[in-house]
Amino acid sequence: MDLQTFTSLYCGSYGVTMVAMPSLFHGSGIIPYFNSELAASADATFYARMFGFSLVAVAAQEMETKGSTAAKYCMAGALVSMIMCATGTYDNANATLFMIQSVPHGLLTAKLFGLF
């Protein structure tokens, strides 16, 4: 599998899951990146699903334009956010999961930028 296809699957699968059921990643969800339940408001669900649709768009754009600049910078921006969550910037974040996720995400981002 080439790098762009893997990047598309990586972003797209998480994006589709966020669109379908964002609560999977909160509180008692299967992979609780955040310690509390997703707020039971339309606002929280809207923002979670918008993030999911954004990831699907990055995945689609990467499939259409291999090695796209947009995908590289979206991945880099997400890495900064993951590191902030892993280092305790957000007290509601599950730092351990974000630390674990930062490693493969960081390696993929570095690979997209041609650092190795």
Q: What is the DSSP string of the chain?
A: --HHHHHHHHHHHHHHHHHH-GGGGBTTSSS-SBSSPPPSSHHHHHHHHHHHHHHHHHHHHHHHSTT-HHHHHHHHHHHHHHHHHHTTSSTTB-HHHHHHHHHHHHHHHHHHTT--
* pTM recorded for the entire structure: 0.87
What's the domain range around 74? 3-112
Model confidence pLDDT, tens digit, residues 63-116:
888 878 888 999 999 999 999 999 999 999 999 999 999 999 999 999 999 998
Number of domains in the chain: 1
pLDDT at residue 60 greater than cutoff 90: yes
